[in-house]
Structure 1
Amino acid sequence: MEKTLLKRDSNELKTFIKHFERGKGIKATEVTYSRFLSDKLLVAKAVKRGVPTVLFSEIKSNSPFNDIQWSAFLDINIRTLQRYRKEEGHVFKQIQSEKIFELAEVVDLGNKVFDSPEDFTIWLNTPSLALGKNKPIDLLDTSYGKDIVMAELNRIEYGVFV
């Protein structure tokens, strides 16, 4: 069984991608975050549409990040983030939606590379020589940092250690 971002079926993702022409061709049984995130055109359209809070809540609940970290990543106040969660029908802005999907991509790959989500969380919070003695989690607040973390996860997956 393929390890993915989610430990259960993603009803919110299934509902979300039905609204896109590209998403209609994906069978409900094939909907995974890995498949969604690998279709860059679908992700680009999804970013423009914005992430609804119900989908964000699903992504957040299956990530190793807490509310404080998410608010920092999305560059919004913690109280604002908590208020968004309570608002029915709230949709995140394009820039925030892009960040949500970028972090979902990191979590998805991290869960594939490591044996458990706990091992991935430990790796995220441990300084790495390959990352200039930075903790991977500290690099995730920018797109460039996310790309560096993704590259390191890919090296680990293929057994290339620095």
Structure 2
Amino acid sequence: MASTPKPYKTKAKVSVVAEAALIAPYQSLYTNSISVLTSAKNGLSAKAALDFLSLSGFTREEFQDTFKTNVKTIENYVSNASKLDASLSEKLLKSFSLFEKGIEIFGTAKAFHLWLNTPSYGLGNQIPFELMDTITGISLIEEELIRIEYGDLA
């Protein structure tokens, strides 16, 4: 039974330029595994989670289910200038990297969001979004994006 893709939701339209601006501050933090490890252990600013929420088009509920944290808690962390723990920081960095690749392949975060909510043959007809709650799931989605990028859809 195929599920209906979830709509891309944001409070305001996010332009391609705005998408790039949301990703840019984090790009150097996920260029390689050592960067991810170091940045995650140091902890991202809580603002990174809100930036990802804006970029991704996830609803608050989708964000909370994926990242296992409450958006209200993140907003409190931002107001207190707190940092995120290593686990959440790592998942966010991997997710930013994933969205950068998805935008590169699909053209916009909106188009990538639509693909994330559509069953993928290369992932055993699973919905990619449902795999994003683990680092392994994010890696599997990234591998599928690379296959798509190179036209290897079999």
Structure 1 length-normalised TM? 0.74
TM-aligned CA deviation for residue 121 of structure 1: 1.3
Counterpart of 1:18 in structure 2 is: none
Q: Which of 21, 26, 31 is the equivalent residue of 1:8?
A: 21
Q: Which stretch of the first structure deviates more once superposed, 138-147 or 58-67?
A: 58-67
In the alignment, the residues of structure 1 paired with residue 70 and residue 53 of structure 2 have an alpha-carbon distance, to the nearest angstrom, of 16
Corresponding position: 1:42 with 2:58: no
Q: Which of 114, 136, 153 is the equivalent residue of 2:145?
A: 153
TM-aligned CA deviation for residue 10 of structure 1: 6.4
Name the count of aligned residue pairs: 139
The answer for unaligned runs of 5 or more in structure 1 is 14-31
TM-aligned CA deviation for residue 75 of structure 1: 1.4
TM-aligned CA deviation for residue 65 of structure 1: 2.0
Corresponding position: 1:95 with 2:87: yes
Letter in 1 for 2:95: L
In the alignment, the residues of structure 1 paired with residue 56 and residue 74 of structure 2 have an alpha-carbon distance, to the nearest angstrom, of 16
TM-aligned CA deviation for residue 114 of structure 1: 0.8
Cα root mean square deviation, aligned: 2.5
Q: Runs of at least 4 residues of structure 1 off by over 6 A?
A: none
Pair 1:41–1:6, CA change in 2 (3 A): farther
Q: Which of 48, 58, 62 is the equivalent residue of 1:65?
A: 58
Q: Quick check: 1:53–1:84 contact (8 Å CA) kept in 2?
A: yes
Corresponding position: 1:56 with 2:54: no
TM-aligned CA deviation for residue 4 of structure 1: 8.9
In the alignment, the residues of structure 1 paired with residue 65 and residue 51 of structure 2 have an alpha-carbon distance, to the nearest angstrom, of 18
The answer for unaligned runs of 5 or more in structure 2 is 1-15
After TM superposition, the structure 1 = structure 2 runs for residues 82-161 of structure 1, keeping only pairs within 5 Å, are 82-85=75-78, 87-161=79-153
Letter in 2 for 1:119: A
Letter in 1 for 2:82: H
Larger Rg: 1 or 2? 1
Identity of aligned residues (%): 25
Structure 2 length-normalised TM? 0.77
